[in-house]
Every structure is written in structure tokens, then in C-alpha cells.
């Protein structure tokens, strides 16, 4: 069965430090992969997505993610974190069936110290 694992429930970094959020997936075919961010009281916002091609994808707000098929991973990175990046981050797999039903991980909550 398809599943997504985000091993880190909570991460704290200092402002200006680099960030990597981990995501592992289980899926029988080539996955469609997504990272969303959720701020308090806000809906989920898409940061970036991977469908095929270049395994390093760029997203909004300076985020990037790398798809590694051999490790079944799609980790999210940012070279320098800003205080406004504090939020919850969700990795998701799109279930290919003609309408992109999403399967989400449990999320990683990011706190940023000044």
C-alpha cells in the first residue's frame, strides 16, 4: 500500500541555518511527489512537485527537493531559513488514477529561533 513517512515530528533551527526535512515513500510505480506547507489558520500551500525528469526540483520561497529513487526519498531543503518559514510541512504522494488523490505524511513542525 502507498504510504509516506516523515521521520521528524518536530525540528528547530536557527534563523539563517540550513534546513533539510526528510520524506520517504512507499509506492509501486513512479511516484508523483509533493511538498506542502501549512501555516496556522491557513490552507495547505504547494511548495514544489516532482513528476518526472530532473530529480532536483525548485519551488517557491527558496525551497528545493531532490528525488532519490534508490532511497525512496524526496527530502526538502533550504539553504538559509527565515523566521517566516516556521510552519508545518507535509510531504505527499499523488496516487495515479486519473485524479491525483494525495496521500500525506504526518508532517514535520518547523520552529525557527531568532
Partner 1 sequence: GAGVSQSPRYKVAKRGQDVALRCDPISGHVSLFWYQQALGQGPEFLTYFQNEAQLDKSGLPSDRFFAERPEGSVSTLKIQRTQQEDSAVYLCASSVTSGDYNEQFFGPGTRLTVL
Residues that bind partner 1 (CB under 8 A): 4, 6, 32, 36, 41-46, 49, 51, 90, 92, 94, 96-107
Minimum distance of partner 1 from residue 103's CB (angstroms): 7
**Comparison of 17 and 106: residue with beta carbon closer to partner 1:** 106
Residue with cell 504510504: 3
Beta strands at 87-95 and 108-113: parallel, antiparallel or unpaired: antiparallel
> CB neighbours of 52 closer than 8 A, spacing ≥ 6?
30
**Comparison of 49 and 77: residue with beta carbon closer to partner 1:** 49
Amino acid at each position: 500500500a502507498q504510504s509516506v513517512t516523515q521521520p521528524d515530528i518536530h525540528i528547530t533551527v536557527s534563523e539563517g541555518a540550513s534546513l533539510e526535512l526528510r520524506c520517504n515513500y512507499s509506492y509501486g510505480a513512479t511516484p508523483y511527489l509533493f511538498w506542502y506547507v501549512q501555516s496556522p489558520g491557513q490552507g495547505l500551500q504547494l511548495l514544489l512537485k516532482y513528476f518526472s525528469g530532473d530529480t532536483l526540483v525548485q519551488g517557491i520561497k527558496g525551497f528545493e527537493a531532490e528525488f532519490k529513487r534508490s532511497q525512496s526519498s524526496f527530502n526538502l531543503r533550504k539553504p538559509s531559513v527565515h523566521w517566516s518559514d516556521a510552519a508545518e510541512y507535509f510531504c505527499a504522494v499523488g496516487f495515479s488514477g486519473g485524479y491525483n488523490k494525495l496521500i500525506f505524511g504526518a508532517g514535520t513542525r518547523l520552529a525557527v529561533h531568532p
